[in-house]
Chain A
Amino acid sequence: MAEILIFNASPRAPRSNSRLYAEIFTKVCRIKTEYFNITKTNHIELCGKVNGFSDLLFVFPLYADGIPATLLNFLKSLETNPPGEKPVISVLVNCGFLEPSQNDTAVEMIRLFCRQNGYRFGSALEIGGGEALPATPFMRLTARKIKKLAECITAGKHRILHTTMPLPKRLFVKASVSYWVNYGKKSGISEEEMRTLRIEGK
């Protein structure tokens, strides 16, 4: 049965950009999808759900240049609790930097998991542009690429896709300052305080 299972591996899954991207994917995808957040305690339950799905899509943020520990730990569970029939695995990964290519290593890790565990790797969408992206007009471009990802997966014509804010790097740097300064203001923290060089007060 051609259905797509979506697992959100963001450590803050219920209020993450990854969730937003997964919601768009669900809206634009022509075949049925089911969505779950990966938590510390639901690995076995989620491994049990994989059976019967043609495709599995992991949606997650880049963490310390690779897949987040949330996803690493789930993959280890999936390795020891494999489904009877293995779905094609695709990924939708987003990072805080402008360059979507900074996600390449995370995609390579999932490819490696697939090779080591007998899964076929499908498509990937690498999103750059950072935390602020969903609140910008550029989100329309992202939504278009998410639709393209859904088309690639449903058609079985797999590709590696990239998208980001179409901004010069220096302008992106400036825009990100405004975003983070406003973020800090909500907690009463000034830009100067946010830029402190002190770590643990020292």
Chain B
Amino acid sequence: MKLILSDRPLKLSAAEADGVKYFDLSELKIAGCTGCFGCWTKTPGRCVIRDDAVNVYPAIAESSCVLYISRIKYGGYDTVMKTLLERAIPIQTAFIRLLDGETHHYQRAVAPKKAHVIAYGDNICADEKAVFSRLVARNAKNMNFESYRIIFTEESGIESAAEEVLKKWRKY
């Protein structure tokens, strides 16, 4: 499966978006993770908060290509995307493994991913790009990215950047 998660509405041509699952997170009701560990220790693989996030994280797990589109804030994802990513921990287990010499959580049935991340904002400075790049490198280990590419853009450039990614996806 191919998946787009966006923190804003996205206008894509039907041809490009064909066969791609798309969530406009700004339209969904997703509460913050409460850190209860319920998805690891009480109802493994299921979040105890039964809101729209429970439809999104299974799609993340299934997808072999993901495109995350988020405003950038303090070198990270802004609130909408960050809240969803924090709610996606049911796709991991509590247990720890060694990966590239570091400790990380085991994944449940999570497909390895080719990830693209579009980070948008006005005049994103070099410092902010550097912090965001380090963040996505960390995400790659914890979110099962086998490869990733980050595209920084102004908000007006999101759709064209997304369509470029979708064109690349045709090969997969």
Residues of A within 8 A of B (CB): 10-12, 16, 40, 61, 63-70, 72-73, 75-76, 96-99, 102, 104-105, 108-110, 112-113, 115-116, 130-131, 169-170, 172-173, 176-177, 180, 183-184, 186-187, 189, 193-202
Contact = CB atoms under 8 A, between A and B. Distances in A.
B35 A10 contact: yes
Nearest to A174: B96
Contact of B45 (A70, A75, A180, A198): A198
A168 to B, nearest CB: 11
Contacts of B37: 131, 183
Chain B CB within 10 A, most for which of A67, A97, A99, A199: A199
A38 B56 CA distance: 27
A196 B95 contact: no
B40 A194 contact: yes
Nearest to A183: B41
B44 interface: yes
B150 interface: no
Interface residues of B, number: 53
B45 A68 contact: no
B11 interface: no
A69 B32 contact: yes
A69 B83 contact: yes
A197 B107 CA distance: 8
B28 interface: no
Interface stretch (B17-25, B72-80, B162-170): B72-80
Given A11-B33, A97-B104, A197-B109, A105 B134 contact: yes
A201 B42 CA distance: 13
Interface stretch (B84-92, B112-120, B153-161): B84-92
A44 B21 CA distance: 38
B147 interface: no
Given A11-B33, A11-B34, A184 B139 contact: no
A68 B57 CA distance: 18
Contacts of B78: 72
8 contacts: A12-B36, A16-B35, A65-B139, A176-B95, A180-B95, A194-B94, A196-B45, A200-B46
Given A173-B98, A187-B41, 4 more contacts: A61-B35, A67-B76, A108-B75, A199-B109
Interface string B132-144: 0011001100100
B44 A193 contact: yes
B148 interface: no
Nearest to B134: A105
B54 interface: yes
Per CB-CB distance, the 3 closest pairs between chain A and chain B, nearest first, are A65-B138, A180-B94, A12-B35
